[in-house]
Chain A
Amino acid sequence: MALQRAPIAARGAQRIVFKIPGFTEFGEILHDRLHGILYHIEELTGKFMLITNFFDREFERIARLEAEGVMNLEALIYAGTIRQRQILERDKPLYYIKRLKAQGRQWDKEAWLAKRDANWLELLNRPIPADMEKVDTFDFFEEFRQGKVDEHSIKIGNLRDYFAALDNILQENEYPIVSDYFDIEKDKYIGIPILGMGLFQGIVWIIFPDELTKKLSKPSRIRRVMKLFQMEYDNLAMNWDIKGDNITRESLFRLAVAQVKPENDIQTYINIKKYYEISAYYHQERVKQNDSVLARVREQHLQTAIITILLDSYAHNISAHSLTTLSYWFRERAEFQHEEGRELIKQLGRDNNPIITYTKLFPNRSLARELYPLFKFLLEKGAFWSGITRQTNFTGKVSSMYNVLWYDFVNNPLYLGTIANTEKVLKVHLNITIFEREERPEGELFKNKKIVKKNAQGVPLDGTFASVNLVNFSPIQPLDEKSDSPFVEKGTLYEELSAELKTYRAYFPGGVIGKHAFFTLLENEIRNVKHYRGKTLADIQRNGLILNLSIHTRPINSEANRLSPEPELFKVGVWLKHPADITENLLIRRIQGLDADIVIEESFRPKLGGNFQDKICASVLIMSAFNKVQSQSSAIGKIYYPWIKTASYRIRKDQSVLQEFEVSHRKYKATADSAFEASFKSEAGQGYLKKYFHIWRGAEILDVSNSEQKVEDPDLDSSARYHFVYLAPQIQDKHRSLKASGLIRIIMDAVQPRSRAEAYQVWLKSWLKTKEESCVLDFRQGDTLVGRIIYTPESIRFFNETQVADQDMDDDAYVRYLAIPTRLNINIEHGSHPSVAPDKLNYRSTGELINRFCQGKSMDKLEAMPVADCYELFEGLISRICIFDRRIYNRLYTGDQGVIANDNKEVADKLALQRARLDLYREELHLDFQNEVHDSFDAIRNKGFMHYHFVVLHLSFIEGMQKLNGKPGETYREDGIVEFIDDHILKGETAENVADNFILIITTGRGRMAWWEKIRENEAYANFTTFRPIESILGAVEDALQKPDDIDLKYNLVKLFFGS
């Protein structure tokens, strides 16, 4: 329907705020519904028809116009045309037939339909823009919308007048259709503005026979019809939220309704504000329901996006660069090792790849030392993947930055040395800068100065930590299989930085998951080498790529009134220390890119690229989960989203001052473009482009009640990073929920412990199985007692070798020592001994026993051990572990893997030794590795699993187990985990009665979590049940076996299970 008025001047640009995907279909349904309302509620009898001109909100059409650069996007649209025709053509076209009869012709339905097709086609979804020639429908609508006209303008008109001049495309095509069913001379029409979601949404034209004129003249009826139309629009709009692709978008309803302008006459006329007020609950609930569907869909899309983005990182960093390179290097070496192939390789000049060079230099050394870290790295990447699909992170692991960077990152030379091979870079230097602090001048938003820390000897901690060199490597000393890789070189500042980094204990959520999130951030920075060209690239190729890391501590909320005495975070900076042209645009592009959602809103496709990989990984490190990457409104998100700060450092002549330009998303958004430009101006030029992200620091004791008072927002912390969580008596009801979240060392006492030692004293009383008993650990090297730990519920003490001998030579003391009821003999032997003894636990100088607990000395040379360390070592050794997992068991005992001794005595002896070692672990380390054998399981079940502190079960083993009261062959399913626990672990006890010193750990290598959903439903089970990825457990075992250090084996596992 079109109203004709004089042409009006063109408007300025108009954007559409709300777009409705599938709006064409929306129009068809709404048309049908409005027709039904008039028929059913208003009881309009006889023939009537609607023409619905709705405000065009079609998503794709608007997007197309936007892409074409059309400024004014607003238009009404001829909507619901298909349904309009169907409704109309249910009846015969009486007036058309009449006209035929008058001409003496018969009605030929097919011919008539074919004739009208052209008219309908012209009208179908035809836009009616504001500037449409000779059509003022939009202006009529606009006057309602602007409040320029009121209900009095809603008047019945004559079709005769409307069709008086057929001079526009609408009328030209409407006339034949309308005239088939209505008497143009007598019949009438009325245009009713339609509101929806509080806004004007178009005009509904009702065309009706003259006899209905009286009925439709009543203002009260028109008012009611307007209300009904508005309600139908709203209902359909809400239904539309979860239709098709809309399911991927948040409901617009709430936002739209909030924009209702009650001062508009028509809105006042139908009292729309009141309506929304009284229907608030209904709308709120509908929106909530719709959004909950959206949330679930969105979560799934987000997860898919995260996987895709990180898969891209794997495909790029690992597969496309590193593995591709290694694949052909090894293939060339394989050829080189055959005489014929060797000549060929030599002739082609391909006999100089690093692997072949290595083989030539060290003919008696395999590449095992270089390969196993690579395999371990790939294994852990597997855990990283399954962590994404699993979503839930069960606490994490506190590791020293030294261990992570030296053992796991640098000592993987085949990977690290090949990431940049495409750019012909085979040498990577890892520089580390330790900042003491950063200083920001008052009122300055972006510029800050960073001060390099000096160690006690006054050496600035800024220099090369280590280098991976696949180019001109050479052995410093003769190599054997156990020597460090010749590809890895300690840097000039290795010793100084090592000492510092060993004291930096960082919390990695999910253990290997957090660690690999960290590594991915570093790997991506290395890949930025691709941006360098010309002389700089040539310099990098010649002298090596410098990956620079900086580390310093920062408070979680630097703007809070009260800061924690111990900064919560490590702020980690990463950059390539090679000059690049730093521009404002470069910084802005990066910060804007990071701000964007990782998912394209309309299509839900992931946004690929290094920035988004960085964003996800940085979010994992601080939010402890993958799916919180877009969590802007969380307490931490409000400060740290999008988790990465971009920064630049301009290279100046005077390099004594490290001034940086550091941009957080929050401050960037709050700054005017001109102010930002002015601030940056002095920083443009040659410099380094940096990124900053944050890692939680491992900490000692979280006082839950105090933390609520201490910081402004207790959510600005991660309880899992603490060694202990302390609950004061008044809040001990939180114990369950904290335990169910995966925390284990929760202590409840009247007095808050002030130190780790005090906390341990309280904690061990509840953790030990033999309550109130004293306990002694004797460490024996050969037959000499080199140390002793005597624990009582009130104290702990380490006795060194001399003190042990003194004690043993004193008859009274010796008698008291003999009276201690619980004792553990730990026979240790340095791992460099030429043979493995069945009764000796190996240790190495690089292991935790020496490095951490004995201050770098062998135990016989140790004078004293700090009380807190003594407690921790005691806890590690005394905690009882039982593991049923064939993958771990097979690593320690090869006899169940098809290695059959038969008559081969040598093999039989070796298997016997392996079994003896397992017995040794069981007896001296309380570490019981079991194969997935039902008889063994039953034996331990009968003894009672509560004997142990940690019981680890492979999920598949549980699933293969015959149900206790089931039919033959009926096994436990993943979702039957609670039944399994009842039958085998609790054996009649209730879950509520399980003590705090028992933890059941389910392990699997896959991302299966149905079992956890069942556990989570019941807090009493979640209280003592948790999860660890098999890769983490295997990693802990493998790290220890490689050294070899049996004390590490136990300590690593205990640390992994406690999460710190």
Chain B
Amino acid sequence: MEGERKIIIVNWKWKIFQDRHINADALSKEEFHEFSVDIDKGKGIFFDEYAVEPSYLCPDALLVATSIYNEGPQTKTLLYALIDKYTKDGNQVMIFLHRSNFFEDPDLQELMDRYKSRIAKCFLFAFGRDYIYYSTQRSGFLNDTGGFFRGRDLISKEKVLTFDPVKQQVMQPFFDRVWQYYQTEFEIKILNLKESVFDCFLPLMLPDSPMQFSRHQLFEALKDKEGEGLLFRIKSFLGKYDLLDQIKDFEKKYALEEELRVISKLEKEHRESYVFDDCILNLEHEEQNGKHLVKEVYDQTKEQLDRLLFKTAKKNFKKQDLHQLSASMEELIKVVPGEID
């Protein structure tokens, strides 16, 4: 793995393609077919490649920029043709899909089902709140408007150049940081969630606390981290936002969408991604890639957490249930690929 070429494909609102964004009407049926069959013909038209300044971690990395909007089978075929180009032996590919290009969880699922182990990770990103943007953690390379960040750092006022227009290459350490972060992002997300959850539940787990507790007590405890949208983050971890039918569950969906809006707002404020939609899909993707353990532990953790907070009619639980949940989450963090073993 270490020797593989690292490639990041960013499907975004790239300004370089601002008059050539691919939507359902951008090309004729014949053109879609032509480009899908021979994707190289589209280079410079709707996608481009940028070299990356060599580093120890990424000596020969590549950034692929494209602007394809998810507007039906033809656009998706074209996107797949582009991904096909890079998912070859010897390449390690991460894909970033812009939510505003009309990509959602099911699209991510479809993509991972299709490519299985041929892609390393796949993410949804948007609204300047993800790590890939420079401004969130002053680490990524994208700006907010369809290009590479260039200008003064907002805090330090130092000059920042994430892309060298003369050499036409993405600058380091920005590419490395993005690669590293996203490689372990799920682990970090789950770790952060665990720490927040057990900060709240800790008083119920202490030796001198009662042996039993109620669900109500759990919810009361979670209120401590309301400012961090903790309950909504848990629901996202449990996939509560992904399961409802658009028409049948209209009213429930509306309320849940409200909650998602709160999370988005917090993400922007805290400059941190909280939503687990792409994370869960990637965990399931691990299973498809033969790493059954990750999926098993995730399912086990999800089951325990869901049982405590939502699932069963039972409203009283044992202290031991919380310890069990803690252990499961700990295990999940260990089995999810990342730095913590």
Contact = CB atoms under 8 A, between A and B. Distances in A.
Given A808-B151, A861-B18, A786 B145 contact: yes
Nearest to A905: B226
B101 to A, nearest CB: 13
A784 B149 contact: yes
B321 to A, nearest CB: 28
Interface in B221-269: 226, 250, 260-262, 264-265, 268-269
Nearest to B145: A860
Interface in A806-840: 808-809, 814, 833-837
A781 interface: yes
Most buried by B among A781, A784, A785, A858: A784
A801 interface: yes
Interface in A974-989: none
Most buried by B among A786, A801, A804, A835: A835
Given A782-B135, A809-B161, A861-B18, A814 B145 contact: no
Contact of A784 (B143, B226, B265): B143
A902 interface: no
Contacts of B159: 808-809
Given A809-B161, A860-B145, A861-B15, A835 B268 contact: yes
Interface of A is mostly: mixed
B127 interface: yes
B133 interface: yes
A364 interface: yes
B154 interface: yes
B59 interface: no
A805 B162 CA distance: 12
B151 A781 contact: no
A816 to B, nearest CB: 14
Contacts of B128: 782-783
Contacts of B161: 809
A801 B145 CA distance: 9
A364 B159 CA distance: 50
Interface string A847-863: 00000000000101100
Contacts of B250: 364
Nearest to B257: A834
B151 A809 contact: yes
B152 A814 contact: yes
Contacts of A837: 265, 268-269
B76 interface: no
Given A833-B127, A834-B264, A808 B152 contact: yes
B127 A860 contact: no
Interface string A772-790: 0000000001111110000
Contacts of B226: 905
A804 B151 contact: yes
Contacts of B134: 783
Contacts of B135: 782-784
B150 A809 contact: yes
A254 to B, nearest CB: 75
A860 B145 CA distance: 6
B148 to A, nearest CB: 10
Interface residues of B, number: 28
B146 A860 contact: yes
Contacts of A860: 15, 144-146
A139 B144 CA distance: 102
A475 to B, nearest CB: 15
A781 B154 contact: no
B256 to A, nearest CB: 13
Contacts of A801: 145, 147
Nearest to B267: A835
Contacts of B149: 784
Contact of B265 (A364, A786, A835): A835
A836 B261 CA distance: 9
A176 B252 CA distance: 106
A781 B145 CA distance: 8
Interface string A360-379: 00001000000000000000
Given A808-B151, A809-B161, A834 B144 contact: no
Contacts of B269: 837
Contacts of A836: 265
Interface in A61-96: none
Contact of B264 (A783, A835, A858): A835
Contacts of B150: 805, 809
Contacts of A814: 152
Nearest to A837: B268
A781 B264 contact: no
A185 B149 CA distance: 127
A809 to B, nearest CB: 6
A904 B171 CA distance: 48
B139 to A, nearest CB: 12
Contacts of A858: 145
A861 B145 CA distance: 9
A820 to B, nearest CB: 15
B279 to A, nearest CB: 19
A479 to B, nearest CB: 14
A364 B247 CA distance: 9
A801 B149 CA distance: 11
A905 B262 CA distance: 13
A784 B127 contact: no
A834 B261 contact: yes
Contact of B133 (A782, A786, A804, A835): A782
A905 B264 CA distance: 18
A785 B144 CA distance: 9
A811 to B, nearest CB: 8
5 contacts: A783-B154, A786-B145, A804-B151, A809-B150, A861-B15
Given A782-B143, A785-B151, A834-B127, 18 more contacts: A781-B145, A782-B128, A783-B133, A783-B143, A783-B144, A783-B154, A786-B144, A786-B145, A805-B150, A805-B151, A808-B159, A835-B261, A835-B264, A837-B269, A858-B145, A860-B15, A861-B15, A861-B18
- Minimum-distance CB pairs A-B, first 3: A782-B144, A783-B135, A860-B145
Interface of B: 15, 18, 127-128, 133-135, 143-147, 149-152, 154, 159, 161, 226, 250, 260-262, 264-265, 268-269
